[in-house]
Amino acid sequence: MILLIPAYEPDDRLIALVTSIRTAAPDVHILIVDDGSGGAYGAVFDGARGLGATVIGHQANRGKGAALKSGFRHAGRTHPGEAIVCADCDGQHDVDDILRVADRVRTARTSMVLGARQFSGRVPVRSRFGNAVTRLLVRLATRLSLQDTQTGLRGYPASMVAWLQTVDGDRFEYELNLLLHATGAGYAVEEVEIATIYLEGNASSHFRPVADSVRIYAPLLRFLLSSLGAFVVDTAALLVLVALTGALLPAVVGARVLSSTVNFLVNRTLVFARGTDKPVRTAAAQYWLLAGVLLAANYGLLLVLTQLGLGLLPAKVLTEAALWVTGYQVQRRFVFAPPRASAVERPVAEPSRALGADVR
C-alpha cells in the first residue's frame, strides 16, 4: 500500500502525519510530492525523508492535480501492482480514517474509495456550500449519489493507476474530473465515512474560491451553456415552424435537426474537447442516433403534456429539463469519449529530472 501526499508549502503537520502513519502502519510506503514549495520548506521535507518517506518534487508550483499525477507515475513505476491512498498534508485527515480507506481499497478491485465527511459540527460556510453545489452537479451529470465530492482522502486500486494519469486537470478540478469520468471508464465509486476535521477554519487550504471554482465547474458549465444555446435555437425554431405549418411533429423534427447540428459542433470542439480523438464520422453517427432517441422522447413528452392542457412553451421547458441529464451522460460516456486509455495505448510522459526520487 502506498500513501501519496501532495504538499505545497507544508508545515510541521506533515511531519506529524508521517510520524503517525509510521507508528500505526510501518509497512505503508509514504510518497510525498513537493509541488514547488521552494527552499524555505526544505527542512519540513528533510524531516519527512528522515522518517523514511520518499520525496519527489516539482521545481515550480503546478497544482494539486499535477502533483497527484506525478505521484501516480512514480508509484506505478517503482511499486507496480500497489493500491494508492491519497491524503492531504495539513492534518485534515485522521490516521485511523486513512487506514480505514486503505483497508477498503485493498479489496476494491475496480472501485475508487472516497473518505466521506458528514459535515457535522463547525464547518466553514464555503466548504459546506461548495460541497453541496458539487454534490448536486455530480449527481446530475453521473447519477452518483455521493456524500462528499470534495474530499482529498481517496483510495485507488492498482487497476486504476494507469487511467488516473490520463484524466485532464492540473489543479483542484482534477479530482472532480475523476468522479465525472470514472463510471464511463468502467470504475465504481464507493464511500467510507470519516471524521469532519477543519483546523483553524481551513486556513491552511490553498484553494482559491473564484479561480479554482471556475476550473472545477467548467466541464459542467460548458455543457450547460451549450445545452442552453441549443435550447434557444430549438425553441425558437419550434415556435416558428408550428406557426407556419400548424403541425407539431414536422415542427419538432425540423427544429431538432437545426439545433442538434449546432449542438454537435459546439460539444465536439468546446465541451468535450478530448472527444476529437474519435473520428468525426463515428462521433456524428453516435450523436445522431442519440438525437433520434431523444427526439422521439421529446415528441412523446411534448404530446402528453400539451394534451394535458399545458402550454407549448412551458411543456418544452419541462421536456428539455427532463432529458438534459440523459443527453449529458450519453455524450460524455460514449459519443465524445476518447478511446479507452491504457499504459500501452497511451503512454504517459516520464517526469522530468526534477521529479526523481528525493529531489529538492
State yes or no: pLDDT of 64 exceeds 70: yes
> Which residues, 6+ apart, have CB-to-CB distance to 264 below 8 Å?
284, 287, 288, 291
3-state secondary structure 288-348: HHHHHHHHHHHHHHHHHHHHCCCCHHHHHHHHHHHHHHHHHHHHHHHHCCCCCCCCCCCCC
Count of C-beta atoms within a 10 Å radius of residue 121? 9
Burial of 184 (0-12, 13-18, 19+ CB in 10 A): middle
Q: For 102-147, how does the pLDDT look when each residue is reduced to its tens digit (9 = 90+)? A: 999 998 889 999 999 876 555 555 556 667 777 777 777 777 889 8
Containing 109, the helix (H) or strand (E) segment is none
Q: What pLDDT does residue 276 have?
A: 53
Q: What pLDDT does residue 125 have?
A: 55
State yes or no: pLDDT of 91 exceeds 50: yes
pTM (two decimals): 0.64
pLDDT band at 188 (very low <50, low <70, confident <90, very high): very high
Q: Average pLDDT of the chain?
A: 82
Domain ranges of the chain: 2-207, 219-335
CA separation for the pair 13, 19 (Å, rounded): 10
All 3 cell numbers of residue 173? 478540478
Q: What pLDDT does residue 120 have?
A: 57
Residue ranges of alpha helices (H) inside the chain are 12-24, 42-50, 64-78, 95-106, 125-142, 161-164, 173-182, 209-245, 248-266, 280-307, 312-330
The CATH code that applies to domain 2-207 is 3.90.550.10
All 3 cell numbers of residue 26? 510501518
- Are 121 and 196 within 8 A, CB to CB? yes
Q: For 271-297, how does the pLDDT look when each residue is reduced to its tens digit (9 = 90+)? A: 776 545 677 888 888 888 888 888 888
Containing 32, the helix (H) or strand (E) segment is strand 29-35
| Sheet order of strands, 188-194 included | 54-58, 29-35, 2-7, 84-86, 154-156, 111-117, 188-194
CA separation for the pair 28, 99 (Å, rounded): 10
